Amino acid sequence: MARRGQSGDGDTPSEILDVAERLVQRRGFNAFSYADVAAELHVTKAALHYHFAGKAELGEALLSRYAARFADALAAIDAEPATAPRKLAAYADLYGDVLRDGRMCLCGMLAAEYQTLSEPMRRILTRFFSDNEAWLERVLAKGREEGTLHFTGTSGEAAGLIVAALEGAMLVARPFGDVARFQAAAASLLAGLL
């Protein structure tokens, strides 16, 4: 999901989260440090610890904020009078927007490092994917009911496939620096549901 720009309004915790989110989306959680964030913000590491006691707490805040913004984006999609196929396309666009910005889905990046994350981070991460699958399941069920979507298996199984395929498509497109590769995979995935 595209992130909001740096706050620039003196909201230090938000600025810290903005920088840390960008670093995680480009490098991964284990490949950045408080020193990286402090250097970019021209503050001391102690200033970061004032707002986030440790890296795990920073990670929890990152995940919570990202999940909340993603939930807001899904609510915005739901607020529009759109067909189920159009909602699925808008969902895929959330991933494409992140990739166009030279980033990966924050939760996808963290899923790759799952075993090294704190237990609270793991819970938030799992909830993010579960919430996404639940939203997709509702859209898929409605599309099937209306006759605009066709797929084998349950709506829940199809929802899991969509999340996995979009996250995987991002990963494969990344080394090529080719958003079109992601878009082609997403379009093919969604076309298979029509």
Distance CA 165, CA 159 (A): 10
Residue 161 lies in a domain: yes
Residue 40 lies in a domain: no
Q: Provide CB contacts within 8 A for 177, sequence distance 6+.
A: none
> Longest Cα pair distance anywhere in the chain, in angstroms?
58
Residue 46 lies in a domain: no
Helices (H) and strands (E) in the chain, counts: 9, 0
Range of the domain at 157: 63-191
Task: Report the CATH number that the domain containing residue 183 is assigned in CATH.
Answer: 1.10.357.10
Residue 77 lies in a domain: yes
**What predicted TM-score, i.e. pTM, was given to this entire model?**
0.88
- In angstroms, what is the C-alpha Rg of the chain? 18
Residue 113 lies in a domain: yes
* Residues 135-194 pLDDT 10s: 999 999 999 999 999 999 999 999 999 999 999 999 999 999 889 999 999 999 999 999
Question: b/e map of 104-114 (b: 16 or more CB within 10 Å)?
Answer: bbbbbbbbebe
Count of domains for the chain:
1
Give the angle 185-103-42 at the CA atoms, nearest 5°: 180
Residue 152 lies in a domain: yes
- Tell me if residue 60 falls in helix, strand or coil: helix
Residue 26 lies in a domain: no
* Residues 54-110 pLDDT 10s: 999 999 999 999 999 999 999 999 999 999 999 999 999 999 999 998 899 999 999
Residue 70 lies in a domain: yes
